[in-house]
């Protein structure tokens, strides 16, 4: 019997990534009622943009632009300093599940995001962050190779298990629902 609401809503074997992005967006907003204040946002922005970068803007389904074929591109999350209109640093976040770590389609999308971002924000520090459901990052060899030579953006892999460590589990300020998310993400 499943007791963790995040396992029910987001899943375990096959994740519902759209639901996950909404949870991360909620946790990254210090004004929301999750009890973390700016702690989660600070951890997320530190990983994605570098330590001490503030203020940041976080947006789910960020409209990046159109690729050469005219297709509209929307990374799952964009994080920028100081904002998404005129970033000095920007990270585009997307997923790559452990069941398909070398998906050509996903790798092509990520490369397209990097190229569009470089075209739109040529002077910004640009990063592509890939959230995954495994800590075995060696499985993403084709992805890392595709970003190793002359990439218009740096690549970082972010396991959900790492995200779980950003949530204080023993704090009385952390509500049970937020602790349940950390427990779920840490158990993958």
Counting every residue, how long is the chain?
188
* Distance from the first to the final alpha carbon of the chain: 17
Residue 18 sits at the vertex; the CA angle it makes with 32 and 80, to the nearest 5 degrees, is: 60
Integer angstrom CA distances of residue 91 from 49, 69, 141: 7, 23, 21
Is domain 5-186 in CATH 2.40.350, yes or no? Answer: no
pLDDT digits (tens, 9 = 90+) for 104-157: 999 999 999 999 999 999 999 999 999 999 999 999 999 999 999 888 999 999
Contact 151, 112 (CB under 8 A): no
pLDDT under 50 in the chain at which residues?
none
Instruction: Give the Cβ contact number of residue 29 at 10 Å.
Output: 15
| Whole-number pLDDT of residue 99 | 92
| Whole-number pLDDT of residue 153 | 95
| Range list of H helices, the chain | 5-9, 17-27, 39-49, 104-120, 141-146, 160-165, 176-186
């Amino acid at each position: 019997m499943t007791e963790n609401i995040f396992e029910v809503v987001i899943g375990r074997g096959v994740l519902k990534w759209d639901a996950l992005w909404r949870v991360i967006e909620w946790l990254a907003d210090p004004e929301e009622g999750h009890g973390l204040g700016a702690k989660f946002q600070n951890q997320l922005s530190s990983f994605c943009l570098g330590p001490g970068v503030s203020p940041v803007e976080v947006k789910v389904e960020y409209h990046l632009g159109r690729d050469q074929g005219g297709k509209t591109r929307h990374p799952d999350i964009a994080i920028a300093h100081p904002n998404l209109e005129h970033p000095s640093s920007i990270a585009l976040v997307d997923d790559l599940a452990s069941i398909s770590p070398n998906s050509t389609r996903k790798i092509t999308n990520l490369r397209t995001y990097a190229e569009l971002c470089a075209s739109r924000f040529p002077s910004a520090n640009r990063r592509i962050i890939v959230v995954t459901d495994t800590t075995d990052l060696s499985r993403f060899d084709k992805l890392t190779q595709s970003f190793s030579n002359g990439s218009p953006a740096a690549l970082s892999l972010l396991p959900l298990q790492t995200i779980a460590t950003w949530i204080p589990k023993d704090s009385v300020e952390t509500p049970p629902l937020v602790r349940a998310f950390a427990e779920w993400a840490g158990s993958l």
